[in-house]
Structure 1
């Protein structure tokens, strides 16, 4: 069984379309949270994860059913008055998402759990850390002690693509679809082979200029778009 693993889409519909178009054949898709925030297409990205997308680019295999997804800190901030410390860019993205999302989209977002287990207990999804959804678990903190019986632990939040394979299982961060921060501007995702317990880290180019223009048209801080060219 092969899974496409994504995280931290952050309202970047252009990057998500590029990832889905680039993804090789998989048996399913999972998402480690932060569907919304920063970039201007919050509704489109929520609808994609709900399997409710419309007016799609030709040839892109958008999901046709609900994608197993956990709640990220930006998702939570949109549906709750979250105390998470945001900078001006993050705060602007949250406010923009609240204005854009309709009741059904907000209901879907508010129903996301902080943790979920998929594939008959073999894959656990969290956003930040198994014990703290807001903790940034960077690659140097990866270790087999993070696993708790599952074969694969999937985390997001840091926007840094990395995985480690241990005797006990796999710890994986697929990186960020919509706002990488590991020095590589390309959209990040991973393909997980559950039969072999292997991970293929993948990157794909996308039209960052189109996102920069949309960010400016939406009245969002220009730095949101500019940083996409630098992967930071």
Structure 2
């Protein structure tokens, strides 16, 4: 069984479309949170994941939009939250608000969280991946850091597919991964997309310019 794993779309429809176009045939797809925030297509990205019925957990930006709070967010993140709240309809807001902070899929073999199993807001970078993070699942999927990576242990795999919509590992390309549950392997993938189009859309939406321009550097 092959599973597409995505995370941190952050309302970047251009990057999401590129990932979906690049994606090989898979048996399922999961998302480790933060569908919305920052970029100017929150409604379109929520609609796409809902249409595909992608099992998704709640990220911190998803929670902020659903709850109407951007506490401790910087100005760029807060602007993205406000923008999303103004553009999501009632059904989309309800979908966000009902996302769980943790879920298991594929017969309990894959666990999804956003930041850390014990704290959804805790950044857990690939160099911190350890077998102790695993419980009964074969694969633990994390997001939040926007840094792609995975480690394989005797007890299973800990992985972060990277960010679709706002990579922060120095590579501007959209990130995702293909998990093979039969072979217990992870293929990390990167996809070029039209960053210029996102920069232009950010400006047109009146969002902070840096939301777009930092995409050039993958930061």
Which bin holds the TM-score, normalised by the shorter protein?
Answer: over 0.9
Distance 1:27 1:178 in 2: 23
| Deviation readout 1:163-201 (Å, 9 max, x if unpaired) | 000010000000000000000000000000000110000
1:164 is matched with 151
1:212 pairs with 2:196: no
| Deviation readout 1:45-91 (Å, 9 max, x if unpaired) | 0001101xxxxxxxxxxx3xx11000000000001144642110000
1:152 is matched with 139
Q: Report the 3-state secondary structure (helix = DSSP H, G, I; strand = E; otherwise coil) of the residue aligned with 1:76.
A: helix
Give 1:163-202 correspondences, 5 Å limit: 163-202=150-189
Q: Report the 3-state secondary structure (helix = DSSP H, G, I; strand = E; otherwise coil) of the residue aligned with 1:195.
A: coil
2:85 is matched with 98
> What 5-or-longer segments of structure 2 have no aligned partner?
none
| Deviation readout 1:98-117 (Å, 9 max, x if unpaired) | 00000000001101000000
Distance 1:30 1:187 in 2: 16
Whether the aligned pair in 1 keeps the contact of 2:148 and 2:162 (CA below 8 Å) is yes
Q: Report the 3-state secondary structure (helix = DSSP H, G, I; strand = E; otherwise coil) of the residue aligned with 2:11.
A: coil
2:119 is matched with 132
> What 5-or-longer segments of structure 1 have no aligned partner?
52-62
Aligned residues: 219
Q: Which runs of 4+ in 1 moved over 6 A?
A: none
Whether the aligned pair in 2 keeps the contact of 1:8 and 1:177 (CA below 8 Å) is yes
Give 1:83-122 correspondences, 5 Å limit: 84-122=71-109
Q: Could you say what the CA RMSD is over the residues aligned between the two structures, in angstroms?
A: 0.8
TM-score by length of 1: 0.93
2:9 is matched with 9
